[in-house]
Amino acid sequence: MSVIDLRSDTVTRPTDAMRRAMAEAEVGDDVFKEDPSVNRLQERAAEMLGKEAGLLMASGTMSNLVAILAHCRRGDEIVMGDQAHIFWNESGGASGLAGVQIRLVPNGPQGEIDPRDLAEAIRPRGNIHTPPTTLVCLENTHNRCSGGALTPQDTRRVADVAHAAGVRVHLDGARLFNAAVALEVPARELVREVDDVSFCLSKALSCPVGSVLCGSQEFIDEALRWRKMVGGGMRQAGVLAAAGLVALDSMVDRLAEDHANARKLAQGLANIDGLSLGPDRIQTNIVIFDIDESVGTAGDLIGALSREDVLVSSPGKHSIRMVTHRHVDGTDIDEALGRTSKVVGGLRAARKGQ
Ligand SMILES: *Cc1c(COP(=O)(O)O)cnc(C)c1O
């Protein structure tokens, strides 16, 4: 029985073309800005996203942290959705290292933020009792909201409220290209209204390492110093950038396959008694579903599935996340559905028998 790994699209391994490009990459010392491959990747990413400049980072977490450090001062307040990756999954770096406090507003089912909630949350200026609001963080696609994609209009409505109040907007676009492919909108249209954006090379785009932060030249100049401070000044990083260039050239369009597989997976899961999907419309490559108490907890299901060689993750005590990616095809989806159905049936029967 083969292992079907649906824990994350981060498990994707570099392609043969990436490994060749990495082996042959032209490199230099990037701390002296002398790595031609890194410079090419940064220019290419910035150009694709319609921003002035880009900066290669070690990870998406580093991109988000450096963006917050570059935009904010200690004691500032930043606003984001209550399901934001920055809030849930980045080890508290925004408060622990950047010294900002986070104010949460509700995320809608696709990860959207209601501009009225944002307007309420932004602090009035000039009051010594309250922290100044200096940044809003959006996420596209939205990880904990089943990979929901924000449209250019969703983003513009939020950015307009922020900018009118003198607040900047950072987009955590770890899976930005999934959103672009799903909505059939160029990625640059999705980020037109935000001040800066980070995206990951190491997720569905299959690179071994990396994320790129893009924004104005002034912002990137500032981010460069913070990246150095947090230990992100890499030397012959062209070996990594070379894979990133291959990814941007050849790995974006194929994301549509992952999305089709996720839809197929979601349809199959919806038919299994005891499982219920959040949004019925799966837009990209992340499927999150809830488990009925008659089946058990997320821990029970994860354990039982792993004994059947289906690996999944859990965003909550009663929910499971499955992510499609380059190493799972339509046959694997059928197989995963068959094994899941069997396991869920087994868990229910065991509960009844107790
Ligand atoms: C994965 C992810 C990140 C962080 O990326 P790492 O490279 O794992 O640090 C940030 N935001 C979102 C939405 C993510 O899914």
- pLDDT tens for 23-41 read 999 999 999 999 999 999 9
Q: Give yes or no for residue 285 CB within 6 A of ligand 1.
A: no
pTM: 0.97
Q: Give yes or no for residue 85 CB within 6 A of ligand 1.
A: yes
140: closest CA among 118, 184, 172?
A: 172
Mean pLDDT, range 312-324, rounded to an integer: 95
Ligand 1 mutation target, pool 7, 61, 227, 325, most atoms within 8 A of CB: 61
Contacts of 322 (CB under 8 A, 6+ apart): 6, 262, 265, 269, 286, 287, 288, 289, 312, 336
Whether pLDDT at 232 is above 90: yes
State percent of the chain over pLDDT 70.
99
- Model confidence band, residue 353 (pLDDT cutoffs 50, 70, 90): confident
Whether pLDDT at 279 is above 70: no
Whether pLDDT at 1 is above 80: no
Residue nearest atom 8 in ligand 1 by C-alpha distance: 60
Q: Which residues in the chain are classed under CATH 3.90.1150.10?
A: 254-347
- pLDDT tens for 36-69 read 999 999 999 999 999 999 999 999 999 999 999 9
- pLDDT tens for 129-156 read 999 999 999 999 999 999 999 999 999 9
Q: Is the peptide bond before 12 cis (omega within 30 degrees of 0)?
A: no
Mean pLDDT score across all residues of the chain: 97
Q: Give yes or no for residue 206 CB within 6 A of ligand 1.
A: no
Pairing of strands 196-200, 211-215: antiparallel
Q: Give yes or no for residue 200 CB within 6 A of ligand 1.
A: yes
List of E strands, 106-208: 133-139, 168-172, 196-200
Q: What are phi and psi of 315, to 5 degrees?
A: -85, -5
pLDDT of residue 168: 98
- pLDDT tens for 179-198 read 999 999 999 999 999 999 99
Two tokens, residue 203: 């997720």
pLDDT of residue 125: 87
321: closest CA among 272, 285, 281, 280?
A: 285
Residue nearest atom 6 in ligand 1 by C-alpha distance: 60
CATH class (in words) of the domain with range 254-347: alpha beta
Q: Is 286 exposed, middle or buried (0-12, 13-18, 19+ CB in 10 A)?
A: buried
Task: Assess if CATH 3.40.640.10 describes domain 14-249.
Answer: yes
Ligand 1 mutation target, pool 89, 91, 198, 313, most atoms within 8 A of CB: 89
Q: How many CB atoms lie within 10 A of CB 157?
A: 18
pLDDT of residue 352: 83
- pLDDT tens for 154-175 read 999 999 999 999 999 999 999 9
Is the backbone of residue 138 left (phi > 0), alpha (psi -120 to 50) or beta?
beta
Whether pLDDT at 310 is above 90: yes
Whether pLDDT at 219 is above 80: yes
**How far is residue 9's CA from residue 179's CA, in Å, rounded to a whole number?**
15
**How far is residue 147's CA from residue 300's CA, in Å, rounded to a whole number?**
24
- Model confidence band, residue 177 (pLDDT cutoffs 50, 70, 90): very high
Residue nearest atom 2 in ligand 1 by C-alpha distance: 174
Q: Which residues in the chain are classed under CATH 3.40.640.10?
A: 14-249
Residue pair 164/119 in contact by the 8 Å Cβ criterion: no
Q: Give yes or no for residue 211 CB within 6 A of ligand 1.
A: yes
pLDDT of residue 126: 87
Q: Give yes or no for residue 59 CB within 6 A of ligand 1.
A: yes
Whether pLDDT at 101 is above 90: yes
Q: Give yes or no for residue 146 CB within 6 A of ligand 1.
A: no
Q: How far apart are the CA of 274 and the centre of ligand 1, in A?
A: 30
